[in-house]
Amino acid sequence: MLIRRATLLDGTAADIRVGARIEEVAGQLWAAPGERVLDAAGGTVLPGLHDHHVHVRAAASALDSLSVGPPAVRTKDQLAQALARAAPGPDGWVRAVGYHDSVAGELDRGDLDALRPDVAVRVQHRSGALWILNSAALRRVGMAEHADGRLRASDRGWSDRLQRRDTDLAGLSASLTALGVTGVTDATPDLDAEGMVALLVAHRRGEFRPRLGFLAPGKKILHDDDLDLDSLTEWIGLAHSDERPVAVHCVTAAQLVVTIAALRAAGGHPRDRIEHAAVADDDSLAELADLGVTVVTQPNFVAERGDQYLVDVPAADHGQLWRVASLLRANVRVALSTDMPFGRGDPWAAMRAAVYRTTPSGAVLGADECVSARTALTMFLGHPGEPARARAVEAGQPGDLCVLNVPPATALAELDAGMVLATVIGGEVVYPAT
């Protein structure tokens, strides 16, 4: 197909011929007989956005799950109402997601039995690491005797029994392509080969259009109560001896310190990643730069949960949360992502969060960490395997493009999903679906 009258991000006017790859980018190109032509009318054409850390299956199931955390649900009464009204799915489950302890404390099976005893209820904590099941749900997964119904997602003994294969991948695909997203990296740590194959089959069949990458099996989640430098070092060394990079999930200061030490001891791989780096002190910046590791972070949590951080995190540590600009100044490789469905899966909202760092109540969290709109946008344009290396609209690149209905200056001023006019994957228009 031919995209006419495009404006590239640097302001260059161009026509673009695109198939499986970008074939030609030139001042003026003429349509071949029968070739599809899309008139960008001066709008910006970008490489398709890539969300570098998402959970595809969980995001698809969140589409038909009940949200039981802020901002939708903030109090125990609201939680009671939401659960009482929830209609179970065809398989008999009530699935609730996004729970946070600020709503009604540390829930257990007894609390859930009091709120909704008649059907199987499972509540996922918004961290994604914890589930709470009521008694009916525990019976269904063969754990009727479980003490409190609080189950860690990392415990494969039961989590396989909660896996869904019936999620709405087509619905998720449609919402992603409407945002200009042409690729995602799935960061689910316990995704097995079967789960990966199922997603790839859905992609091949056209049910899930964005290109798919996977961090598993090189992804590791750490827990503060059992941080072990030696075993982490050994795990990293084994992956590297197999030519595999690692992606280590670091949400606390302690996790980042141990991971840096382990990477030092084991030696780095050029494609190693640290996921989140939600808390990073000043000393860690130079270390991360020196290791050459890529930080894949989510400042969208400032926009989504910032008011909670202002309450929960000591003021002296606010500057260490979800850093971006200071990482870049220290020459750390950085890319953005949304962590959908634990974060809102809108990269444009994440870019605005990186630029403004405004919490829901309007406070600014970490003003020193604000980046320019161009930087924020570019951090969603990275290569799947090298998130901090931006792609460009040039011949030879994959035929994945995001066409906006406004010129670059307006696009950068607004950073809004409503600007997406069309999304192209492999030379095919996948949004709008006409």
What is the token pair recorded at 171? 């619905």
**Interface stretch with Zn ion, choices 23-31, 179-187, 222-230, 311-319 (CB under 5 A):** 179-187
Residue 339 beta carbon to Zn ion: minimum distance, rounded to whole angstroms:
4
Between 285 and 296, whose beta carbon lies closer to Zn ion?
A: 296
Between 111 and 339, whose beta carbon lies closer to Zn ion?
A: 339
Site string for Zn ion, 246-285 (x = CB under 5 A): ----------------------------------------
Reference 348, options 380, 321, 316, 372; nearest CA is 380
Cα separation, 188 vs 9, in Å, equals: 32
Site string for Zn ion, 117-156 (x = CB under 5 A): ----------------------------------------
**In this structure, what are the phi and psi dihedrals at residue 46, rounded to the nearest 5 degrees?**
-115, 160
Parallel, antiparallel, or unpaired for β 247-250 and 273-276? parallel
Residue 19 beta carbon to Zn ion: minimum distance, rounded to whole angstroms:
34
Residue 216 beta carbon to Zn ion: minimum distance, rounded to whole angstroms:
12
DSSP code at position 398: B
307 and 360 in contact (C-beta within 8 Å)? yes
Between 308 and 405, whose beta carbon lies closer to Zn ion?
A: 308
Between 173 and 298, whose beta carbon lies closer to Zn ion?
A: 298
Number of residues that bind Zn ion (CB under 5 A): 2
Q: What is the rounded end-to-end Cα distance, in angstroms, of the chain?
A: 15
296 and 266 in contact (C-beta within 8 Å)? no
H or E segment to which residue 256 belongs: helix 253-266
- Which amino acid appears at position 33 of this protein? P
Residue 189 beta carbon to Zn ion: minimum distance, rounded to whole angstroms:
8
Q: Using CB atoms, what's the residue nearest to Zn ion?
A: 339
Between 306 and 341, whose beta carbon lies closer to Zn ion?
A: 341
Between 127 and 331, whose beta carbon lies closer to Zn ion?
A: 127
Reference 280, options 248, 237, 341, 324; nearest CA is 324
427 and 19 in contact (C-beta within 8 Å)? yes
**In this structure, what are the phi and psi dihedrals at residue 380, rounded to the nearest 5 degrees?**
-105, 10
Between 167 and 423, whose beta carbon lies closer to Zn ion?
A: 167
Cis peptide before 217 (omega within 30 of 0): yes
Which residue in this structure is represented by tokens 């798919």? 212
Residue 58 beta carbon to Zn ion: minimum distance, rounded to whole angstroms:
9
Residue 156 beta carbon to Zn ion: minimum distance, rounded to whole angstroms:
18
Q: Is 51 in the site for Zn ion (CB under 5 A)?
A: no
**Interface stretch with Zn ion, choices 33-41, 183-191, 278-286, 290-298 (CB under 5 A):** 183-191
Residue 130 beta carbon to Zn ion: minimum distance, rounded to whole angstroms:
14
Residue 53 beta carbon to Zn ion: minimum distance, rounded to whole angstroms:
6
**Interface stretch with Zn ion, choices 133-141, 171-179, 182-190, 323-331 (CB under 5 A):** 182-190
**Interface stretch with Zn ion, choices 186-194, 196-204, 216-224, 416-424 (CB under 5 A):** 186-194
Number of other CB atoms surrounding residue 293 within 10 Å: 27
142 and 116 in contact (C-beta within 8 Å)? no
**Interface stretch with Zn ion, choices 185-193, 219-227, 255-263, 390-398 (CB under 5 A):** 185-193
Q: Which of 51, 111, 287, 339 binds Zn ion (CB under 5 A)?
A: 339
Between 247 and 422, whose beta carbon lies closer to Zn ion?
A: 247
Between 63 and 114, whose beta carbon lies closer to Zn ion?
A: 63
Between 159 and 397, whose beta carbon lies closer to Zn ion?
A: 159
CA distances from 417 to 179, 269, 372, 378, 405 (A): 5, 35, 18, 15, 11
Q: At what angle do helices 347-356 and 300-312 cross, to 10 degrees?
A: 50
DSSP E strand stretches across 203-291? 211-214, 219-221, 247-250, 273-276
Between 137 and 354, whose beta carbon lies closer to Zn ion?
A: 354
**Interface stretch with Zn ion, choices 43-51, 306-314, 339-347, 359-367 (CB under 5 A):** 339-347
H or E segment to which residue 229 belongs: helix 229-241
Cα separation, 352 vs 306, in Å, equals: 14
**Interface stretch with Zn ion, choices 39-47, 338-346, 355-363, 370-378 (CB under 5 A):** 338-346
What is the token pair recorded at 373? 């709109």
Residues that bind Zn ion (CB under 5 A): 187, 339
